[in-house]
Structure 1
Amino acid sequence: MPDDKNKLGYHDRSRVSGDEEYEVGYFASKFGLSIPQVRQLIAKHGNDRDTLEREAEALKGR
């Protein structure tokens, strides 16, 4: 089911939807990663934003 942009509650912000190009693209540009790298992070760690941000920082630092 597509992400409803009209529902801007807390729960929507706590996840990164791997199915939504704009969310993956934003996350990739925010951390200087490629789209495939972000998709790999989501596949490996799930879509929790806090976890993904922590892992993206670690990946960026390598």
Structure 2
Amino acid sequence: MAYVFETLPADRSFIAIDDAREVQWWSKQFGCNEVQLREAVKRVGTTAANVEQLLDGKDIYIL
């Protein structure tokens, strides 16, 4: 049996939008595609909690 280890971001409170592996990981976590993630980061910044709130469609509270 082969084990696949997923690389986690070093700091899970911020999204390193220039790191392809992080973009892929965050897209999977938020259930969105890369374009949606990049647009969300443009709107609210790289704080993961703010991006998550925007993608959830709930009221946005900038932290």
Q: Between Structure 1 and Structure 2, which shows a larger proportion of helix residues? A: 1
Runs of 4+ with >3 A deviation: none
Normalised by the size of structure 1, how large is the TM-score? 0.67
How big is the alpha-carbon RMSD for the aligned residues of Structure 1 and Structure 2? 1.6
User: Please, what TM-score do these two structures have when normalized by structure 2?
Assistant: 0.66
Equivalenced residue count is: 49
Question: Is 1:20 matched with 2:24?
Answer: no
Greater Cα radius of gyration, structure 1 or 2: 2
Q: Which of the pair has the greater relative contact order for Cα pairs under 8 Å at 6+ separation?
A: 1
In structure 2, stretches of 5+ residues that fail to align are 1-9, 59-63
Q: Unpaired runs of 5+ in structure 1?
A: 1-7
